[in-house]
Amino acid sequence: MKQRIERFTSTERIAHWMVALSFLYSALTGLALWSHRMFWLAAVFGGGETVRGWHPIGGIVFALLLAFIFRNWAAQMKLDADDRRWLAVSHKYAMNQEEGVPAAGRFNAGQKMLFWLQSSSALLLFASGLVLWFPEWMPRGLRLAAVLLHPVAAVASIGGIIVHIYMTTLVVPGALRAMARGWVTPRWAASHHAKWYRDLDRR
């Protein structure tokens, strides 16, 4: 049997897939309201009134789960000097060139940036979403800000997730299995997260 290294604990994996599902629901029902041309998505999720009623609840579930993930991961997501150098040559990483790309820890700088992008946009989505949920109780100034900030944050977060899903399903074979079943091979770890692999070895 191939040697297995634990990459994500079961708690991390369950939290990830719950947040992924609630994100997908919130994003798709949100996109239904983004443009008249995408309103057909509302029919998929039970009609316009159902979407209006449940999108905020999906959003609350997403925000709570993300807060849990944030608590678990925030300390590991701080950018170090290597990460900053990684970001400076991220175009090389994108083109699959390995020359001059610093070795990554448990999370590479791209993943860390995604974490901060999702956390900050979720905070913005949550705050503006509360305002949009109960327009009848909210002062006009807040509503005027919320109708702009909510879609701004949504565009940022959906844009980030498009990259995230593409990377983990198609660009890095083994990443999806790591998040689903929790393990990777030593070869995988050494290739994609060399610093993390070395630190594991030392222990």
First to last CA, the chain: 23
Task: Tell me how far, at minimum, the Cβ of 32 lies from another protein, in Å.
Answer: 8
Nearest to 30, CA basis, from 156, 154, 126 = 154
Q: Does position 195 bind another protein by CB under 8 A?
A: no
Nearest to 52, CA basis, from 73, 78, 33, 80 = 33
Q: Does position 197 bind another protein by CB under 8 A?
A: yes
| Biggest distance spanned by C-alpha atoms of the chain | 63
Q: Does position 166 bind another protein by CB under 8 A?
A: yes
**Three-class secondary structure of residue 3 per DSSP:** coil
Residue 185 CA: distances (Å) to CA of 1, 2, 5, 162: 11, 7, 6, 26
Supply the angle between the helices 109-133 and 81-88 in degrees, to the nearest 10.
Answer: 90
Window contacting another protein (CB under 8 A); options: 28-36, 65-73, 103-111, 121-129: 28-36
Q: Does position 171 bind another protein by CB under 8 A?
A: yes
Q: Which residues in 123-152 contact another protein (CB under 8 A)?
A: 132, 135-136, 140, 143-145, 147-148, 151-152
Site map 43..82 versus another protein, x via CB under 8 A: -----xx-xx------------------------------
> If DSSP states are collapsed to H, E and C, what string results for 61-90?
HHHHHHHHHHHHHHHHHCCCHHHHHHHHCH
Task: Tell me how far, at minimum, the Cβ of 203 lies from another protein, in Å.
Answer: 16
Give the footprint of another protein on this chain (CB under 8 A): 31-36, 39, 42, 48-49, 51-52, 94-96, 132, 135-136, 140, 143-145, 147-148, 151-152, 154-155, 158-159, 162-163, 166, 170-174, 185-192, 197
